[in-house]
């Protein structure tokens, strides 16, 4: 695909993305080593699947944010999130837009 990352970009993505996966906690990944591994077509395809899933998740999140279909991101003093829906185009409801 034309919009797929090159191996250097994909290696950098994997270093950051791995931090969101509990199984990789404490693992220190090197972009240089990963970039070499990405020369293997099987490893590259596996990495691209993670990248595509991340992109799709971000598209869905962005779409929901634009439509006002998310829970407000404001954290109340008691540690709980505000129960209101976000204002379209923001991650906050109308009461907490000033938190941005």
pLDDT digits over 7-40, tens only? 999 999 999 988 887 777 777 889 999 999 999 9
With residues binned 3-state (H G I as helix, E B as strand, rest as coil), the percentages for the chain, rounded to 5, are 50, 5, 45
Rounded to the nearest integer, the mean pLDDT of the chain is 90
Question: What confidence score (pLDDT) does residue 2 get?
Answer: 54
Query: How far is it, in rounded angstroms, from Cα 25 to Cα 42?
Result: 24
Q: Say if residue 99's pLDDT is above 90.
A: no
Cβ atoms of 15 and 31 within 8 Å: the answer is: yes
Query: How far is it, in rounded angstroms, from Cα 96 to Cα 87?
Result: 10
Cβ atoms of 91 and 65 within 8 Å: the answer is: yes
**Predicted structure pTM score:** 0.76
Q: Say if residue 44's pLDDT is above 80.
A: yes
């Amino acid at each position: 695909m034309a919009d797929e990352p090159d191996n250097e970009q994909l290696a950098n993505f994997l270093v950051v993305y791995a931090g969101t996966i509990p199984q990789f906690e404490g693992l220190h990944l090197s972009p240089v080593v990963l970039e070499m591994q990405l020369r293997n077509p099987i490893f590259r395809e596996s990495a691209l699947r993670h990248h595509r899933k991340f992109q799709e998740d971000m598209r869905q999140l962005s779409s929901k944010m634009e439509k006002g279909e998310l829970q407000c991101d404001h954290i109340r003093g008691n540690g709980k999130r505000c129960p209101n829906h976000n204002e379209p185009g923001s991650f906050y409801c109308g009461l907490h837009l000033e938190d941005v």
